[in-house]
Structure 1
Amino acid sequence: MNHRWGDPVRFPHKTEHECLNGCRTIKVTRHESEAARDVVWPEFWRDGEKIEGDSTPECEPVAVGGCAVFSPDRMYRYRLERELPGEGIIAAIIMVNGSDADETSNDHTVRKLIGFGTRLGWRRIIIGNLFAFVSTDISGLRTAADPIGSDNDRHLEEIIAAADIVIVGWGTVKKLPEALRKRWIDVVRIADRLGQQLYCLDVTDDGHPKHPLMIGYDAVPHPWDAPWFPNRVPAGLEVAP
């Protein structure tokens, strides 16, 4: 994600620009006169400490708060939240399975979502998954006795109901064990029952929503046209008596 530098703040021998994405990086351009010529060089600072190196540091916006709901044995993560600076909408993100991100630590996916949220104007991110079982590798779902989690559907319903926008991103279902490849239908039915349109950032070759890690920051959410399945009642429609 690229930095968005704010307006310059000028001092006698330096100019500062703060990143507006919330990553706490400050670009300092120093300027001195030496031997009848101007010498200019950049520095980057974060939290009062100089960032070493010759290149511009990566922009990684940070959340201002977070929480998580795990099962008592912490084998299942049902809900993960991150609060972002400023005002905006609440975004629910439904992906594939629980990771080792927790109440305070972020993984690559959560950091990517914070970047999306900063760019798209979200004030809160609520993460749920098709499968609540915690595993750093999707292959862990193959050996889990219960990959979904006994309380997962209740939490997914609460997550979807609480959101202003629901973005799905579980990736291609071909990577899942065959017995689990229709689990996504349960989530679509929950959203339909609540009258929530599902959105995605992009789609895979099989028509399913791409995982956020596979997508650039220039993507914007758009309605997801879910593959057909029988007896569906789309969001906003009622079954005739």
Structure 2
Amino acid sequence: MITEKTNIRMDSIFSDDKKHRFLLRRSWAKEGKIATVIMINPSDADYLITDVTTMSVYNGLARLGEYAAVNIVNLYSLATSKMSFRRIDSELNLPDNDKMILKVAAESDMILLCWGSVGDTNSRVAKRIMHVLDMLKNEKEKMHVLTYGDKEGLHPLVPQMRTTLWKLKQIDFDSYYESYNYAKDKATKKESKESTVVEESKDQVIEA
């Protein structure tokens, strides 16, 4: 019979009203690398409650065997299970969140960009991603994405990421940044066109 014991430390940092979460950290070994994972927005996970996404991150990094701790931060600080971009920016993200992202990124050995495809079709999110990348440009050598086959930039909840050994790929920062600039422009044109169609439909109803 073998008994294994370990000390796992969990820390979480919230706004005073607990509506915004700035950091969720787990450390499980004395020696090893520190990873920072950037996702979209927090849920109700804290030092005690662990949601499915957070568990996938812990498991994925632990299986790699070289990491001792992970900092989980997000593009947006609002803690919610149903993210709505109808809210204004100041409701979705507090200034302390950007400060936390900068702090933990500087202290980390690797930064994993795990927001998935959310910025590909939403100009507002793409703009936010570009802002975060701008903030972290001095840490660009640390930036990686999750890959599976020929797919890159996957979210930890993608089924394959929950069951297979994670593969991390270092990004070409300039190309990666430009891809979001392209996505932002493309999404902006689409949103503008859709808005025009809606307005024209309203005019037609009024005239009728």
| Residue 192 to residue 99, structure 1, CA distance change in 2 (3 Å) | same
Q: Which of 1 and 2 has greater Rg?
A: 1
Residue of structure 1 in register with 2:134 after alignment: 189
Match of 2:165 among 218, 235, 239: 218
Distance in 1 of aligned mates of 2:168 and 2:152 = 14
Quick one: which amino acid aligns to residue 219 of structure 1?
W
**Displacement, 1:179?**
2.5
CA contact (8 A) 1:67 1:104 kept: no
Gaps of 5+ in 2: 182-208
**Runs of 4+ residues over 4 Å off in structure 1:** 174-177
CA contact (8 A) 2:60 2:165 kept: no
Query: Aligned pair 1:80/2:24, yes or no?
Result: yes
Residue of structure 2 in register with 1:153 after alignment: 98
CA RMSD of aligned residues (A): 2.8
Distance in 2 of aligned mates of 1:188 and 1:63 = 34
Quick one: which amino acid aligns to residue 119 of structure 1?
R
Question: Which has the larger strand fraction?
Answer: 1
Aligned residue-pair number:
171
Residue of structure 2 in register with 1:169 after alignment: 114
CA contact (8 A) 2:36 2:70 kept: yes
Describe the SS at the equivalent of 2:70. strand
Quick one: which amino acid aligns to residue 157 of structure 1?
L
Quick one: which amino acid aligns to residue 20 of structure 2?
Y
More deviation in 84-93 or 159-168? Answer: 84-93
Query: Aligned pair 1:65/2:12, yes or no?
Result: no
**Displacement, 1:71?**
0.7
TM norm structure 2? 0.71
Gaps of 5+ in 1: 1-15, 25-61, 231-241
TM norm structure 1? 0.62
Question: Which has the larger helix fraction?
Answer: 2
Percent identity for Structure 1 against Structure 2: 25
Query: Aligned pair 1:202/2:147, yes or no?
Result: yes
1:123-149 Cα offsets, whole Å, 9 max, x none, are 11101100011111233x433552122
Distance in 2 of aligned mates of 1:199 and 1:63 = 28
Quick one: which amino acid aligns to residue 160 of structure 1?
A
Quick one: which amino acid aligns to residue 183 of structure 1?
R
Distance in 2 of aligned mates of 1:199 and 1:17 = 37
